[in-house]
Amino acid sequence: MQSIYREKLKLLLVCFSSLVTAKSPPGPRSKRPCCVDVTDIDMSPEVVGETYREQAARGRCVKAIIFNTEYGQLCADPKAQWVKDRKSC
């Protein structure tokens, strides 16, 4: 039962990651994709490593904490409690 839950969680993460990251318009200053939406769902089990990146709201990019996962980047809501807990580790 737990493996089914884990597989659904991975699928959700992959789908969510592909929906919330979008490349910035081409130009000399746009090198990284940005988050256009965030999740407040606790995805901490999927986060790998201890590093994260903070993204400021700018243009269509929203304020986000970006974590790395096995499946790509995860855009998380900086106000979510699990994000605050993860950042303080």
Render pLDDT for 17-31 as a digit per residue (tens, 0 to 9): 544 444 444 455 656
Of residues 35 and 14, more confidently modeled: 35
- Top pLDDT among 81 and 19 is at 81
Report the alpha-carbon distance of residue 61 to residue 4 in Å, rounded.
33
Q: How far apart are CA 63 and CA 35, in angstroms?
A: 8
pTM of the predicted model over 0.85: no
pLDDT tens digits for range 59-79? 999 999 999 999 999 999 999
DSSP sequence for 21-80: EEPPPSSTT--S-EESS-B-S--GGGEEEEEEEEE--BTTBPPEEEEEETTEEEEE-TTS
pLDDT greater at residue 48 or residue 32:
48
pLDDT at 21 (0 to 100): 45
Distance between CA atoms of 32 and 86, rounded to whole angstroms?
A: 23
Domains in the chain (CATH in brackets) are: 2-22+32-87 (2.40.50.40)
